[in-house]
Amino acid sequence: MKILQLTKKFPYPLKDGEAIAITSLAKALNELNCEVSLLSMNTTKHFFDVSELPDSFNHYTRMDLVTVDNRLKVFDAFLNLFSSQSYHISRFLSKSYQAKLIDVLKKNKYDIVQLETLYLAPYVDVIREYSNAKIVMRSHNVEHEIWKRITKNTSISAKKMYLGLLSKRLENFELLYLNKYDMMVAITERDLNFFKKLGCSIPSSVSPIGLELSGYNQNINRQKHPTFCFIGSLDWMPNLEGIDWILDKVWHKVIEEVPNAQFHIAGKNTPDRIKNTSLKNVIVHGEVPDAIEFINAHDVMLVPLFSGSGMRVKILEGMALGRVVLSTNLGLEGIIGEHNKNVLIANDAENFAQQIIRCFNSPDLITNLGFAARELVNNHYDNISIASSLVKSYHQLISEEDSKCINFSPQS
């Protein structure tokens, strides 16, 4: 089976959930004997010099990158107010990317063109014109729902009005394209049901994010006092919203009860107000070179999310490393963890603080939950098993005579 994967950012380095989700699936598909090609935007925001790629990044049959300027521009955003277009989507409209897509489709025959996120949807008509491949939307999130939640949690009235306009236009675009693909692949059952309620009637399936579990080696050395951490991109509004909430509403409650507790924050594009915090025992690392090493250095991962949809890859990574994850119900959407069994859940400041204090005072709880978390990920989120199910869904989608030889067993 020949698959062309379209992405709005180059999926390396593996420092964020989107890059990990794209790369993990592509590697698994390659191990299942699929020929996977990549056509990626190389954006100004996430530009990557491919000469720095490690030799191990060798799972693509071919890679094509197109430089795209997707910077947020105040004047363009202002002009967009007088149109009906989604500004979110317009930042990923590129004539050079479209030209390269046409060139690739003319020169190659694919069974599946897999769009990674809604932002590649504007290229559906081009794919239809130049290819007979089945078009699959692999939806990492319900995109407009994220922005609706962000809007709801915004208190400044002018900003709230502007975000409300952006989220409504994004919703209109997402609904417009809902049935223009040949298949919808959602990351979670919850997201797929949401799409169906919105009117999605095309073939569909759920394919959660999987991990290459051999790359996650648990550090079982415990410190005298457990430490707490957060890692995530702090230019993504839901992450920033959650960190602000912990610093403003939660951490002082923790320090009052356990003065020796430490909270370590890591993430690219950390705002100065967080870097310069004077809160006791809050250590801000900025962007760290190795996310796994950072997670492994701490006992409990805090994931305070109140906006967003889809799955949080960092939660899976933390669980795969045997860390305790303390999150909100929304943060754990799409992950089958259970409170007090393999994760901890708290949705308000008082309970969140109490769960942190509980972990600090209970080393056995940390050990037991950590082992249970790792077992859950091993049983349900292995990338080869998940990719095998997805390939079978693709095989059903395409006709037998157009299918390439498919081998569902990993290569030796």
pLDDT per position in the chain (412 positions), as tens?
999 999 999 999 988 889 999 999 999 999 999 999 999 999 998 899 999 999 999 999 999 999 999 887 776 776 777 777 888 899 999 999 999 999 999 999 999 999 999 999 999 999 999 999 999 999 998 888 877 777 877 877 888 888 888 889 999 999 999 999 999 999 988 899 999 999 999 999 999 999 988 888 887 766 678 999 999 989 888 899 999 999 999 999 999 999 999 999 999 899 999 999 999 999 999 999 999 999 999 999 999 998 766 788 999 999 999 999 999 998 998 899 999 999 999 999 999 999 999 999 999 999 999 999 999 999 999 999 999 999 999 999 997 545 444 444 444 3
Q: Do 38 and 166 fall within a single domain?
A: yes
Name the 3-class secondary structure at 18. helix
The tokens for 370 are 């950590």
Q: Do 233 and 371 fall within a single domain?
A: yes
157 lies in a domain? yes
Within 185-236, where are the H helices?
189-197
How does DSSP classify residue 111? Answer: S
Q: Do 164 and 26 fall within a single domain?
A: yes
Q: Do 396 and 370 fall within a single domain?
A: no
Identify the domain containing residue 321 by its residue range: 214-380
410 lies in a domain? no
CB atoms within 10 A of CB 129: 9
409 lies in a domain? no
Q: Do 375 and 386 fall within a single domain?
A: no
Give 13's Cβ-side CA count (13 Å radius). Answer: 13
Q: Give the whole-angstrom CA distance, residue 38 versus residue 8.
A: 11
Q: Give the whole-angstrom CA distance, residue 259 versus residue 247.
A: 15
Residue with tokens 């959930």: 17
Q: Give the whole-angstrom CA distance, residue 376 versus residue 316.
A: 10
Domain count along the chain = 2
CB 238 within 8 A of CB 244: no
271 lies in a domain? yes
pTM: 0.84
Q: Do 218 and 200 fall within a single domain?
A: no
Q: Do 367 and 225 fall within a single domain?
A: yes
